[in-house]
């Protein structure tokens, strides 16, 4: 008998007592109208010791230039923002950047799919303006531009909006560890500096 058939057989035998399958409502909180989700999002991102700033669309080019001043920057090929001097990564081209080449760069600028206020999380679905997963991982500085309209209140709202068929990367602050005496330290393998610019 194949391992597959044997395991499925064992599982069926284990459930031969016909247990009743439970149901339970998944709670959703009624949004608190007094809380501005964009403000909460900025506070919660900052709690992770990420850099957060808010600006207008008109101010964005200058803010971006300042955020990556003096750094060697990579951007995804379809980023709709102007980052002078940046290297372009095209996931589907033949001369895609190697991991070592990415490691030689300092920063990456992307957009995000959405932001979650409650948890201070940005979610990338690696669609337009976000690039393949490696470019937001290997460089040490990730500058992420989030439009205020992309900020949702809570995790359930994020699941409403996200596409299950896409690869997703949820990012809550810079890389961190609590492995030494359970004290949190920011900065291990992922970007040690996360900079979120919220455009309002």
Among the residue ranges 35-43, 71-79, 105-113, 155-163, the one whose residues contact other proteins (CB under 8 A): 155-163
Residue 103 Cβ vs other proteins, minimum distance, rounded to whole Å = 6
Residue 17 Cβ vs other proteins, minimum distance, rounded to whole Å = 6
Residue 62 Cβ vs other proteins, minimum distance, rounded to whole Å = 29
The DSSP secondary-structure symbol of 36 reads -
Per DSSP, the three-state class of 100 is: helix
Per DSSP, the three-state class of 37 is: helix
Q: Residue from 51, 63, 132, 148 that binds other proteins (CB under 8 A)?
A: 132
> Does residue 4 belong to the site contacting other proteins (CB under 8 A)?
yes
Burial class (CB in 10 A: 0-12, 13-18, 19+), 26: exposed
Cβ–Cβ < 8 Å for 152, 114: yes
Q: How many CB atoms lie within 10 A of CB 64?
A: 22
Q: Which residue, among 200, 198, 199, has the nearest Cα to 52 in the 3D structure?
A: 198
C-alpha–C-alpha distance, residues 84 and 73, integer Å: 9
**Binders of other proteins in range 91-120 (CB under 8 A):** 91-92, 96, 99-100, 103, 116, 118-120
Residue 154 Cβ vs other proteins, minimum distance, rounded to whole Å = 9
Cα torsion 79, 81, 85, 89 to 10°: value is -10
**Binders of other proteins in range 25-64 (CB under 8 A):** 25-29, 44, 47-48
Q: Residue from 34, 80, 85, 165 that binds other proteins (CB under 8 A)?
A: 165
Q: Residue from 35, 72, 82, 167 that binds other proteins (CB under 8 A)?
A: 167
> Does residue 189 belong to the site contacting other proteins (CB under 8 A)?
yes
């Amino acid at each position: 008998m194949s391992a597959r058939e044997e395991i499925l057989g064992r599982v069926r035998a284990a459930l031969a007592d016909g247990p009743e399958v439970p149901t339970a409502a998944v709670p959703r909180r009624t949004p608190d109208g007094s809380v501005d989700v964009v403000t909460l999002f900025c506070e919660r991102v900052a709690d992770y010791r990420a850099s957060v700033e808010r600006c207008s669309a008109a101010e964005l080019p200058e803010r971006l230039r300042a955020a990556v001043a003096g750094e060697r920057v990579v951007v995804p090929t379809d980023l709709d923002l102007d980052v002078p001097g940046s290297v372009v990564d095209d996931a589907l081209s033949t001369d895609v950047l190697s991991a070592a080449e990415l490691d030689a760069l300092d920063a990456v600028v992307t957009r995000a799919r959405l932001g979650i206020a409650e948890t201070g999380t940005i979610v990338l679905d690696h669609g337009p303006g976000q690039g393949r997963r490696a470019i937001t991982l290997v460089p040490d500085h990730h500058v992420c531009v989030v439009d205020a309209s992309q900020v949702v209140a809570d995790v359930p709202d994020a699941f409403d909006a996200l596409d299950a068929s896409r690869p997703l990367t949820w990012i809550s602050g810079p890389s961190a560890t609590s492995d030494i005496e359970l004290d949190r330290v920011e900065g291990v393998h992922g970007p040690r500096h996360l900079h979120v610019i919220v455009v309002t």
